[in-house]
Amino acid sequence: MSSATRPIKPKKNIVRRWVIFIALALLYIWALSGVPVEGFKETAGQISKAIVSGIFSPDWDYVYLPEGEDLLRGLLDTLAIAILGTFISAFLCIPFAFWAANNMSKIKANAGIGKFFLSFVRTFPELVMALLFIKMVGPGSFAGVLALGLHSIGMLGKLFSEEVENIDFGPSEALKATGARPLQTLWFAVFPQVLPGFISYTLYRFEINLRSASVLGIIGAGGIGTPLIFAMQSRDWSRVGIILLGIIVMVTIVDIISGYLRKKIV
Amino acid sequence: MIEFKNVSKVYPNGTQGLKNINVKIEKGEFVVIVGLSGAGKSTFLRSINRLHEITSGEIAIDGKSITKAKGKDLRIARRDIGMIFQNFNLVKRSTVIRNVLSGRVGYHSTLRTVLGLFPKEDVNLALNALDRVNIVEKAYTRSDQLSGGQQQRVSIARALAQEAKIILADEPVASLDPLTTKQVMDDLQKINQDLGITTVVNLHFIDIARQYATRIIGLQAGEVVFDGPVEEATDERFSEIYGRPLETREDEEVEVGESAHESSK
Amino acid sequence: MNQVNEQKIPKAPSKWKHYFTFILILLLLWGSAYQTDSTFKELIEGFPNMFSVLDQMIPPNWAYFDNIIGAMLDTIRMAVLGTTIGAVIAIPFAIFSASNMIKSTWVYYPVRFLLNLVRTIPELLLAAIFVAIFGLGPLPGIFALGIFSTGIIAKLTYEAIEGIDKGPLESMTAVGANKIQWIMFSVVPQVAAYYVSYVLYSFEINVRAAAILGLVGAGGIGEYYDRTLGFLEYDKVSTIIIFTLLVVLIIDYISTKLRENLL
C-alpha cells in the first residue's frame, strides 16, 4: 500500500488522551499523598476476627427482650421514623415542586430560583440537619423525623417538579371551559396526571430514608443506630451481628414490597 | 344567541387574529366555521368562551356580555357553554364517568367536588349523557383504554352533562378516521336537533360542513368572507373567495399535520 | 331526557379499596407518630430553640475557614480513593452479574444477591465498623466508601451490560475470540462511556458521604461538626456547612458537565 492513500491517525485524540492521563495521574498523586501510610493498628487482625465470628454467631436473645430496648423495638422505631419523615416531605414538597416547574409560571427565573432552593436543601446532609434538630427538640426519634422530613424535600421536590413539567394542559383547558374554579381545575385535571408519579417517587424515597433512619441513632436521633453504636463501643460483636442482620432483613423486605407497589402503580 | 359586535383580536406579535367581526348566531343553529389553516377559526371559537381574549369589540351571549364578565360571572357563563377539542382533552388516567362528572364541577363548591360528593342527580345526568352517545357501558373504564372516537364521544357527554346551552367544537374530527368522523358528527347533529343546543363547529373539510351545517361561515385572515345557508356555499363560490377550492375529506392525509399545527397556536 | 336503560349501566366498582388504603395510611402515620413521640406540641415548643440556634449561626465565622481547609481536602481525597477502589472492584462483579456474560444462573444470582446485600448497609455503618478495626482516621472512611460504591457502580454497570447490542458479541464469537478478547472487543467499547459516567455519579455521592463520615471518626470534615457542636459554636458550624455546600455544588457541576460530554 502506498503511504499517500493511508489515512493518518488524527492527532487531536492523542493529545486529548494524554491530557486526561496526566490529569488523572496528578489527581491520584495528590490523593495518595494525604493518606497516612503507617495505617493499621496491630490489633486490626484480631478485631476483624472477633467481628466476623460475632456476626456469624448473632445474639439471638436480643431480638426480643420483655423489658424493652430490643432489636424489634429498635427496628420498629427506625421504620416509624422513615414513614413519618417521608410522609412529611412528600406533603411539604408539593408547593415547592410547582414552584420549581418550568411550565407553571410565565417568568423563567421564578422556576430557576425554586430549582436552586431544592438543590440547596438536597446538598445539606441529613445527619447535620439531625444534629441541629437535636439541639432544638432534644435527642430522640423526633429529631430524626424532622431531619428526614426536611432533607427529603430537596430530592422529592425535584422529582415531583419533573413530573409536573410533563403534564398535558388539554384537560386543564377543558375544565376551565366548563367554568371550573382554579382549585377544581388543579384537582380534576392536573392531580390525576401527576399522582401516580408522586406516589412512586415517594415510595422510592422511603427506601432511601429507611437506610438513613438506621444510622440516625449513631448521633442520637433515634432508631436502631443508637443500640448499634453502644454495642460497637462495648465491643459486643454478637450484638452488632444481630443488629446488622436485622437492618439487612428489614431493608430487603421493605425494598421488595415498595418495588412491587411501584410496579403496580405505573 | 351569540352576538359578535365589532370584534377584533391582535396577537402580541402583531398578527391580526380576528378583524372587525359582526356575526349573530341564533338559538338552535348548527353553524360550521370553515377556512384555510390560520384563518382564525380557532380564535373565533375560543373567544366565545374566552379561552382566548379579544382586543376590541364585545361578545354577548343571550344579551349578556361575556367580554366584561369577571370571576364568578365568567365561570357561570362558561358553565353554559360546552366545549369539544380536537385532542379530546380527557384526563386519561381517570374513569369515563369521572371525566363526564368533571363537567358538573362549575355547579358545586370546591370542597364538595374535591371530596367527590356529586349528588345522585349529577350521576344520573352523566349516565344519561353517556347513554345518548351510546357509550354508557364504558362508564367505569379508564379513559385511556378507549379508542379515539370513543374518547371524543365521552367529551361530548361531558358537554351534555354540563347542561350546556351552546356547544363549541374545535376541529372535533381532525384526529379521527372517516367512519368515526361520521359517528361523532351524527351525535353532534342529533343533539342539536333533539335538544335544540346551539352548535358551533370548526371544520377543515367543506364536504362534511355541507352535510351537517344549517349555516356556514367562511373566514379568511380573520375576516368573515362568507356567511350564508348551505345551498349558497358552492364550490364555485369558495374557489372565487379563496383562490382555490377548500379541502374535502379525501385530502385528509395531507391536512392532519396542518390542522394539528393550527390548534397548537 | 329519557331514562337510561338500566341493564346497560355497569356496576360501579366498589370504593372499599380506596377507603381501606386511606385508613391504612392514617393508621401507619398515627402509629409512627406514636412510636417516635412526634407531636405538634413538641415542635412548637422547639421553635424558640430553633430560632436561637439559627440566630447564633448568622453571621458565620469566616475566620474558621483556615482551620478546616485541610480537612476538606482530606474529604475530597477520601472520595477520590474510595470511588477508585469501588470502580475497580465493581468490574468483575458487574461482569459476573450480567446474564448475557455468564450464562449460569448459579453464578449471577448469588453475585447479584451479594450486591443487593452490600447496598442495604448504609456507608456510615460500614465506616463505624472499619473504625473499630483500623482505628480513627481517613483509612476506614476510604474502605467504607470503596465497598459502598462497589454496590452502586456494579449494579448500574451490569444493567448497562445487559442492555448492549448482541451483534458484536456474536461476530466476536464467530471470529474465534477467547473470553478476554471477546469482552475487550465487543463489551468494553459498548459500555465504557456508561461505566465512566456511573463512576462519576458515584463520586458525587461519595463526596457527600465523605463529608459526614467524620461523625464516627472516619476522617474528613465531619469530625469538625462534633467538635464545634459540642462547644455550641454555631457560627463555626454554619461556616462548615457553607463550605461543604460550596464544594459539593462545584463538584456536582463539574461531574455533570463531564457526564454530559460522555454520553
* A31 part of contact set with chain C, CB < 8 Å: yes
From A131, A212, A218, residue closest to C128, measured CB to CB: A218
Residue among C32, C137, C225 minimizing CB distance to A84? C32
Q: What is the mean pLDDT of residues C15-20?
A: 87
**How many angstroms separate the CA atoms of C244 and C72, rounded?**
8
Task: Kindly report the nearest CA distance between residue C31 and chain B, in angstroms.
Answer: 25
Chain B residues lying within 8 Å of A193, measured CB to CB: 91-93
- For residues B201 and B207, give the distance between their C-alpha atoms in angstroms, rounded to a whole number: 14
Q: Do B89 and A174 touch (CB under 8 A)?
A: yes
Q: Which domains does chain C have, with CATH numbers?
A: 69-262 (1.10.3720.10)
Burial zone of A158 (CB within 10 Å; 0-12 exposed, 13-18 middle, 19+ buried): buried
pLDDT attached to residue C64:
86
Q: Any idea which of A185-194, B133-142, B232-241, C150-159 has the lowest mean pLDDT?
A: B232-241
Rounded-to-10 torsion of CA B94, B99, B101, B105: 100
- Show which of residues 63-102 on chain C sit within 8 Å of chain A, judged by CB atoms: 73-74, 76-77, 80-81, 84
Q: Give the residue ranges of DSSP H helices in B54-165.
A: 71-79, 96-101, 110-114, 120-132, 148-161
Hey, where are the domains in chain A? 62-265
Q: Could B79 and A184 be called an inter-chain contact, meaning their C-beta atoms sit closer than 8 Å? A: no
Q: Å from C13 to nearest chain B CA?
A: 7
Find chain A residues with C-beta within 8 A of B94's C-beta.
Answer: 188, 192
- Give the CATH number of domain B2-246: 3.40.50.300
What crossing angle do the helices spanning C105-120 and A237-265 adopt, rounded to 10°?
Answer: 110
Q: Are A225 and A216 in contact (CB under 8 A)?
A: yes
Residue A125, pLDDT score: 85
Residue among B93, B106, B110 minimizing CB distance to A183: B110
Q: Which residues of B54-64 are buried (b: 16+ CB within 10 A; e: fewer)?
A: beebebbbeee
A136 CB contacts (<8 Å, ≥6 apart)? A143, C46, C49, C50, C53
What does the pLDDT read at residue C97? 92
Exposed, middle or buried by CB within 10 Å (0-12, 13-18, 19+), for B141? middle
- Name chain C contacts of A244, Cβ cutoff 8 Å: 121, 125
Touching partners of B (3+ C-beta pairs < 8 Å): A, C
Burial class (CB in 10 A: 0-12, 13-18, 19+), A67: exposed
Question: What is the rounded average pLDDT of the residues C89-101?
Answer: 92
Q: A62-265: which CATH topology?
A: MetI-like fold (1.10.3720)
Cis upstream peptide for C59 (omega within 30°)? yes
Q: Is A142 an 8 Å CB contact of chain C?
A: yes
Burial class, B170, CB count within 10 angstroms (exposed 0-12 / middle 13-18 / buried 19+): buried
The beta-carbon neighbor of C10 closest among B128, B132, B137 is B137
More confident residue, B236 or B61: B61
Backbone angles phi, psi at C105, to 5 degrees: -65, -20
Residues C59-94: b if buried by 16+ CB within 10 A, e if exposed: ebbeebeeebeebbbbbbbbbbbbbbbbbebbeebb
Chain B: residue whose CA lies nearest to A190:
B91
If you average pLDDT over residues A194-217, what whole number do you get?
94
- Which amino acid makes up residue C155? K
Residue C5 has pLDDT above 70, yes or no: no
Measured in degrees and rounded to the nearest 5, phi and psi for residue B142 equal -70, 140
Residue B264 pLDDT more than 50?
Answer: no
Minimum CA–CA partner of B161 in chain A: A178
Mean pLDDT of chain C: 88
Domain ranges within chain B, ordered by starting residue: 2-246
For residue B99, pLDDT over 50 is answered with: yes
Per-window interface: C 213-232 vs A, CB < 8 A: 215-216, 225, 229
Chains touching A, CB cut-off 8 Å, 3+ pairs: B, C
Say what the pLDDT of residue A177 is: 92
Residue C214 to residue B161: CA distance in whole angstroms: 65
Q: Is the pLDDT of residue C7 over 90?
A: no
The minimum CA-CA distance between A166 and chain B, rounded to whole Å, is: 14
Contact residues on chain C for A31, CB-CB shorter than 8 A: 76-77, 80-81
Give, for C126, the enclosing helix (H) or strand (E).
helix C123-134
Spatial separation of the C-alpha atoms in residues A181 and A179, rounded to whole Å: 7
What does the pLDDT look like over B142-177, one tens digit per residue?
A: 999 999 899 999 999 999 999 999 999 999 998 888
C-alpha cell at C8: 346497560
* DSSP category for residue B1: -
Residue A123 pLDDT level (bands cut at 50, 70, 90): confident
Q: What is the percent of chain B with per-residue pLDDT over 90, rounded to a whole number?
A: 54
The subunits that touch chain C, with at least 3 C-beta pairs less than 8 Å apart, are A, B
* Residues of A (66-85) whose Cβ lies below 8 Å from C: 76-77, 79-81, 83-84
Residue B224, min C-alpha distance to chain A (Å):
25
